[in-house]
Amino acid sequence: MAGTACFIIVSKNDIPIYEAEVGSAAKKEEASQQHQFILHAALDIVEDLAWTTNAMFLKAVDKFNDLSVSVYVTAGHTRFMLLHDSRNEDGIKSFFQEVQELYIKILLNPLYLPSARIASSHFDTKVRALARKYL
């Protein structure tokens, strides 16, 4: 499992709707803001890259010190962004794919308003479990 990893889901109107520190070193020695600052800035790069490729998984789009930002863009232009220090690209890809399945389940919930904050604790638990599994 990665030392540091910050996972965030950004809705299509650029608002973060889910955020989680999923690294094993979640001791917050580096605050989540710093991670969010990096992820927010990386959105610009994602905007550029997302339209140049058919792939959903954009791999590492940005680097900050030894941290990389990997991004997965869903068909609805919801972006899964992961700030991580591990190099396990396949693991990250699987992580993203499984999270997308979870996200689709959230979307199927008739009481869930699209682009609203994901507050489901079940989703949170699942995402953290996936992070432990793949990252």
Partner 1 sequence: MEDYPEELRTPPISLVSVVGCPELHQTISSFLHAEQPPINTLALPDFSKISVLSRKQKDPLSSSHSAAGILKRDWLSKHRTRVPAAVAALFRVDCVTGDPAQWLQVCTDLENLKAVLHGRGIKLIVILVQTYANEDVNEDLKITLRKRAEIDAKYLMMLVQDDTPELKQSLTRLSSTLAELCNTYYREEGRKIRIRIEKRSFSSVELNIRYCFKVAVFAEFRRDWAEALRFYEEAYRALREMIATSTRLPPVQRLVEIRAVAEQLFFKISTLLLHGGKVEEAIAWFNRHFNSYKHLVGLDEVSFLHWDWLSRQFLVFAELLETSSAAIPNTLSSHFGTPESSLTEWEIQPAYYYQLAANYLREKRYCLDNLLSTGDSEFSRTSGKVPESVMPSVFIGQSARLVEQGDMIEVLPLSDAEYVQYALSEAQRFQDSYEIIALFRKACESFTNLKAPRLASLCSNRMAKEYFFTEDFTDAKKLFDTVSSLYRQEGWVTLLWESLGYLQECSIRLDSAKDFIEYSLEMASLPIFANGDQEIPDSKREYGPAGLPSQSRREALQSEVLSLVRGEEIVSRTDRGCSIAVTKEQPVRIDVDIISPLRMVLLVSVAFHDQSVKPGSPVMFTLSLVSQLPCSIEVDELEIEFNQPKCNFIIINAVEEISAARSNGDNQDVRIETAPSIVLPTNKWLRLTYDVKSDQSGKLECLSVTARIGKSFKICCQAESPASMEDLPFWKFEGMVQTFPTKDPVLSFSGQKVIQVEEPDPEVDLILNASSPALVGESFVVPLTVIPRGHEVYSGELKINLVDARGGGLLMSPRETDPFSSGNHHVELISISRMGDDDESRIHSDKIKKIQQSFGVVSVPDLRVGDKWSCKLEIKWHKPKSVMLYASLGYSPNSAEAARVNVHRSLQIEGKIPISITHTFMMPFRREPLLLSKVKSLPGADQNVYLALNETSILIVTARNSSEVPLRVKSMMIQSNSNKNETPYSIQHVGGVSADDSLLVPGGEFKGVFSVRPKIDSPNLELGSVCLNWNRDLTLSDSEDSGVVTEQKLPAVIVEQSPLVVSLEFPPHAILGIPFLFYIKVSNQTNLLQEIKYSLGDTQSFVFCGPHDNAGFILPKMEYVMSYKLVPLCSGSQQLPQATITSLRYSAALNPSVTATTIFVYPSEPNFFVADNEKETILAKLNL
Choice between 29 and 75, CB closer to partner 1: 29
**Quick one: which of 1, 36, 97, 102 contacts partner 1 (CB under 8 A)?**
36
Angstrom distance (rounded) from CA 100 to CA 66? 26
Contact 21, 3 (CB under 8 A): no
Choice between 16 and 91, CB closer to partner 1: 16
**Quick one: which of 29, 54, 75, 108 contacts partner 1 (CB under 8 A)?**
29
Contact 61, 45 (CB under 8 A): yes
Q: For helices 89-108 and 121-134, give the axis angle rounded to 10 degrees.
A: 160
Indicate whether 28 belongs to the interface with partner 1 (CB under 8 A). Answer: yes
Indicate whether 49 belongs to the interface with partner 1 (CB under 8 A). Answer: yes
Cβ of residue 61: shortest distance to partner 1, in angstroms? 6
Choice between 6 and 131, CB closer to partner 1: 6
Indicate whether 21 belongs to the interface with partner 1 (CB under 8 A). Answer: no
Per CB under 8 A, contacts with partner 1 among 65-124 are: 65-66, 113, 115-117, 119
Q: What is the DSSP letter of 112?
A: P
Angstrom distance (rounded) from CA 1 to CA 77? 28
Contact 58, 72 (CB under 8 A): yes
Half-sphere exposure of 108 (CA within 13 A, CB side): 6
Instruction: Summarize as ranges the residues that interact with partner 1 (CB under 8 A).
Output: 11, 13-17, 19, 28-34, 36-38, 40-45, 48-49, 52-53, 58-62, 64-66, 113, 115-117, 119
